[in-house]
């Protein structure tokens, strides 16, 4: 198996140089970068289980790098660390298990290769001892299901068709959200939930877009399907909206969601369940669409939700979706308009005591007045929330152009 390394440094040139040295010695090695100070801090449960070693590079002063290495090694079973310190060696250093230091005013390739070989050998020996322990397989237990290659951290939720876990993926080398489907149905069954589950992977896995959730893995274990996807430690848009959003930030979020819809619609797919709980945040402030379980390819021959059956969340449904009429990408744009209205105004445009009352209002009720301070955004809101699809933006691309014309920066 090729060497797998995690390279941590706050300067891009350090990360590039280390990767260059690695690739010269091991052309098939995989070196993953972690941009210290830019990327999200590593989860407290992360143990770098998918790496042979972790390389931390730091120039003087190196106290922060030493502290980082000490904190990581304090975690159970953390991978060996190679601490590259760009300074002259001190008179003496304390030997720390799992820590390999390399000193010098510049990165010495021969020295780096030597310590990586030692660290990798040490890691393989540690793993061999761990695998011999009778409780080793328990780390891969998700309920009563064993999914090797994914270390279970904890269950974080459940739905009608799956349980949701936080896990560390050894293959991806990162924390993931693992959705474990309750059961793989018999092929003779027409099990709609399972079709949607597989469709979520098929839609998203083929897209490489910053504002669409990243899918790492799909598989079957113990007759249960699972899907491993990007973990968002910053939570969802619903949580973020508990605090007021400035109009500029709301527009910035709208632009990102519109960009994701543009990518989805471009491959003939509708989301059909766009709502704040299905919009996740990264620590850098970017947004990401998730939960494509209700998404439907426009060209699909089989209607997974049956003939004219309503699926989605009433507060965010377009008038045509709420009344089980035919829908297209303009329905997603209406749902996006509801989210945008809520971001701006701090409340939903339509509420009611029952789902049917809300659905009726989407179809028949006038849009509540837009506060004067949001006058420059009123045109966007009203076009997104037009009752008739013909009166809305006709595509996400058209919406993106209208947003750009406002010339507002976050």
Residue 170: CATH number of its domain: 3.30.200.20
Question: Cα dist. 138→31, 110, 179, 362 in Å?
Answer: 29, 39, 18, 50
Q: Are residues 20 and 122 in the same domain?
A: yes
Q: Are residues 222 and 324 in the same domain?
A: no
- HSE-CB at 407 with a 13 A cutoff on CA atoms is 1
CB atoms within 10 A of CB 354: 9
Q: Is the pLDDT of residue 114 over 90?
A: yes
Going by the DSSP 8-state scheme, the letter that residue 352 receives in this structure is: -
Q: pLDDT band at residue 285, thresholds of 50, 70 and 90?
A: confident
Q: Are residues 222 and 254 in the same domain?
A: no
pLDDT (0 to 100) of residue 299: 45
Q: Are residues 375 and 260 in the same domain?
A: yes
pLDDT in tens, 261-270: 999 999 888 8
Among residues of the chain, what percentage have pLDDT more than 70?
90
Which class for 30: exposed (0-12), middle (13-18), buried (19 or more C-beta within 10 A)?
A: middle
pLDDT (0 to 100) of residue 291: 84
Residue 36: CATH number of its domain: 3.40.50.2300
Identify the domain boundary among 176, 204, 230: 230
Q: Are residues 188 and 241 in the same domain?
A: no
Domain total in the chain: 3
Whole-prediction pTM: 0.84
Q: Are residues 366 and 284 in the same domain?
A: yes
What b-and-e string marks burial along 103-142, b requiring 16 or more CB atoms within 10 Å of the CB?
beeebeeeebeebbeebbebbeeeeeeeeeeeeeeebbeb
Q: Are residues 291 and 254 in the same domain?
A: yes
Question: Cα dist. 372→2, 180, 253, 279 in Å?
Answer: 61, 48, 21, 28
Identify the domain boundary among 230, 247, 267: 230
Going by the DSSP 8-state scheme, the letter that residue 299 receives in this structure is: T
| Chain Cα centroid distance, residue 4 | 22
Contact in structure between 62 and 36 (CB atoms under 8 Å): no
Q: Which of 271, 257, 283, 295 is nearest to 37 (CA)?
A: 283
pLDDT in tens, 55-100: 999 998 999 999 999 999 999 899 999 999 999 998 888 889 999 9
Dist. CA 177–CA 288, nearest whole Å? 14
pLDDT (0 to 100) of residue 302: 34
Contact in structure between 165 and 143 (CB atoms under 8 Å): no
Q: pLDDT band at residue 253, thresholds of 50, 70 and 90?
A: very high
Cis preceding-peptide flag for 61 (omega within 30 of 0): yes
Dist. CA 307–CA 324, nearest whole Å? 9
Q: Facing residues of 230 across strands?
A: 176
Q: Are residues 382 and 244 in the same domain?
A: yes
pLDDT (0 to 100) of residue 186: 53
Q: Are residues 82 and 45 in the same domain?
A: yes
Identify the domain boundary among 105, 131, 157: 131
Q: Are residues 286 and 398 in the same domain?
A: yes
Contact in structure between 156 and 165 (CB atoms under 8 Å): yes
| Higher-confidence position of 29 and 91 | 29
Q: Residue 178 is part of which domain span?
A: 136-230
Q: pLDDT band at residue 283, thresholds of 50, 70 and 90?
A: confident
pLDDT in tens, 155-190: 998 877 789 999 999 988 999 999 998 766 554 444
Phi/psi for 341 (5° steps) reads -55, -45
pLDDT (0 to 100) of residue 203: 76
Phi/psi for 370 (5° steps) reads -90, 130
* Averaged pLDDT for residues 387-391: 97
The secondary structure element, H or E, covering residue 13 is helix 12-25
* Averaged pLDDT for residues 387-409: 94
Dist. CA 314–CA 356, nearest whole Å? 8
Q: pLDDT band at residue 193, thresholds of 50, 70 and 90?
A: low
Residue 368: CATH number of its domain: 1.10.510.10
Q: Are residues 112 and 23 in the same domain?
A: yes
Dist. CA 243–CA 369, nearest whole Å? 22
Query: CA 9, 15, 19 angle in degrees (round to 5)?
Result: 140
- 359's tokens: 């659905």
Q: pLDDT band at residue 41, thresholds of 50, 70 and 90?
A: confident
Q: Please identify which residue in the block is written with the tokens 């931390």.
A: 56
pLDDT (0 to 100) of residue 146: 93
pLDDT (0 to 100) of residue 73: 95
- 273 an active-site residue? yes
Contact in structure between 178 and 189 (CB atoms under 8 Å): no
Q: Which is the catalytic residue, given 52, 217, 236, 273?
A: 273
Dist. CA 129–CA 125, nearest whole Å? 6
Q: Is the pLDDT of residue 310 over 60?
A: no
Listing DSSP states for 95-128 in one string gives: --TTEEEEE-SS--HHHHHHHHHHHHHHHHHHHH
Q: Are residues 73 and 171 in the same domain?
A: no
Listing DSSP states for 307-324 in one string gives: TT---S-GGG--HHHHTT
Going by the DSSP 8-state scheme, the letter that residue 67 receives in this structure is: H
pLDDT in tens, 206-242: 888 999 999 998 888 888 888 899 999 889 999 999 9
Q: Is the pLDDT of residue 198 over 80?
A: no
pLDDT in tens, 338-360: 999 999 999 999 999 999 999 99
């Amino acid at each position: 198996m090729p060497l797998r390394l995690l390279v941590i440094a706050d300067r891009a040139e350090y990360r590039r140089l280390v990767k260059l040295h690695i690739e010269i010695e091991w052309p098939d090695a995989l070196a993953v970068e972690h941009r210290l100070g830019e990327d999200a801090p590593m989860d407290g449960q992360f143990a770098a289980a998918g790496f042979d070693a972790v390389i931390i590079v730091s120039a003087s002063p190196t106290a922060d790098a030493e502290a980082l290495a000490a904190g990581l090694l304090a975690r159970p079973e953390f991978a060996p660390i190679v601490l590259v310190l760009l300074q002259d060696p001190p008179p003496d250093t304390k030997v720390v298990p799992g820590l390999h230091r390399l000193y010098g005013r510049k990165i010495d390739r021969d020295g780096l290769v030597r310590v990586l070989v030692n660290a990798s050998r040490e890691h393989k020996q540690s793993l061999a001892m761990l695998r011999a322990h009778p409780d080793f397989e328990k780390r891969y237990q998700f309920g009563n299901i064993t999914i090797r290659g994914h270390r279970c951290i904890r269950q974080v939720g459940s739905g009608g068709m799956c349980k949701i876990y936080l896990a560390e993926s050894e293959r991806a080398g990162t924390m993931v959200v693992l959705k474990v489907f309750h059961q793989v149905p018999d092929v003779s069954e027409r099990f709609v939930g399972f079709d949607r589950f597989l469709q979520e992977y098929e839609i998203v896995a083929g897209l490489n877009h910053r504002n669409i959730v990243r899918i790492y893995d799909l598989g079957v274990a113990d007759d249960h399907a699972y899907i491993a996807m990007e973990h968002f430690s910053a939570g969802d848009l619903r949580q973020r909206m508990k605090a007021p959003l400035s109009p500029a930030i709301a527009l910035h979020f709208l632009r990102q969601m519109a960009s994701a819809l543009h990518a989805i619609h471009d491959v003939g797919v509708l989301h059909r369940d766009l709502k704040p709980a299905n919009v996740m945040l990264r620590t850098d402030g970017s947004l990401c669409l998730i939960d494509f379980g209700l998404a439907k390819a426009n060209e699909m021959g089989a209607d997974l939700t049956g003939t004219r059956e309503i699926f989605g969340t009433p507060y965010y449904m377009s008038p045509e979706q709420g009344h089980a009429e035919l829908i297209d990408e303009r329905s997603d744009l209406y749902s996006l308009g509801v989210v945008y209205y809520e971001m701006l105004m701090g409340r939903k445009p339509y509420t009611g005591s029952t789902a049917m009352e809300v659905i009726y209002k989407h179809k028949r009720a006038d849009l509540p007045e837009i506060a004067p301070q949001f006058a420059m955004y009123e045109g966007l809101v009203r076009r997104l929330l037009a009752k008739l699809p013909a009166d809305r933006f006709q595509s996400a691309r058209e919406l993106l152009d209208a947003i750009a014309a406002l010339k507002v920066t976050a």
